[in-house]
Amino acid sequence: MRIIAGSAGSVPIRVPPSLARPTTDRVRESLFAALGDLVADARVLDLFAGSGSLGLEALSRGAASADFVESHGPACETIERNLQKTRLAGGRVHRREALAFLATVPATRYDLAFADPPYAREEKDRELLAALLNAPAFPAALAPGGLLVLESLASAPLPETPLWSVRDERTYGTTRVSFLSPKSEV
């Protein structure tokens, strides 16, 4: 796995051994092409960060800062090592559960949020995805015009939510990437 483009382009990054499903280079390249200029100078949130590949890619492409939120200790250590290896500034690692972190974030903090929760193959994962999309603190954490990029299982429908509107969706094999905006802005 590597950083695709930007100041750290082609730098290989580590993946935690326990991470079963990192975002592939192909998916990252496609989603960042879709985001285009939205990444430059953005304040980024990377939830369920794993290796940190999405936040690292954003920093490499000119994001102002990135908060990496991950509950697994070895994954947090991997993100720290990847930040050191890529020499990307502006990254902060938070060892916390995603929903607990969102409950403490000041309003309008982030321009761009990435969320790659466990795929909804099990009931607990479906419940986590529904709780994430229905947490009022989540859309409130986005600045006006902010965007959520959500990875999920392509074969499972997104949970109903009164908080988000889908702007675009793309499918890459078993992965669906949804681009969502808070409904208050639609």
| pLDDT one-digit tens code per residue, 8-27 | 888 889 888 776 567 788 88
Q: Is position 112 within any domain?
A: yes
Q: Is position 59 within any domain?
A: yes
User: Which residue in 23, 62, 9 sits closest to 39, CA to CA?
Assistant: 62
The half-sphere exposure of 81 on its side-chain side, counting CA atoms within 13 A, is 13
Tell which wins on pLDDT, 174 or 166.
166
| Proportion of the chain above pLDDT 70, given as a percent | 94
What is the bridge-based pairing of β-strands 175-182 and 164-172?
A: antiparallel
Residues 148 and 177: their CA atoms lie apart, in Å, by 10
Tally of domains in the chain:
1
Residue 49's pLDDT band, with cuts at 50, 70 and 90, is very high
Residues 88 and 145: their CA atoms lie apart, in Å, by 25
Q: Is position 101 within any domain?
A: yes
Residue 53 is part of a domain; what is its CATH number? 3.40.50.150
Could you please report the per-residue DSSP string of 18-38? T-S-PPPHHHHHHHHHHHGGG
Give the model's pLDDT for residue 121: 60
List beta partners, residue 12: 2
pTM more than 0.95: no
Residue 142's pLDDT band, with cuts at 50, 70 and 90, is very high
Q: Is position 18 within any domain?
A: no
Residue 152's domain comprises 25-185
Residues 111 and 148: their CA atoms lie apart, in Å, by 9
Average pLDDT over every residue of 89-113: 95
Average pLDDT over every residue of 179-186: 83
108-112, 123-127, 180-184: least confidently modelled range: 123-127
pLDDT at 81 over 50: yes
Give the model's pLDDT for residue 120: 58
Query: Sheet harboring 142-153: ordered strands across?
Result: 91-95, 65-70, 43-47, 110-115, 142-153, 175-182, 164-172
Residue 110: Cβ within 10 Å count: 23
Q: Is position 152 within any domain?
A: yes
Q: Is position 17 within any domain?
A: no
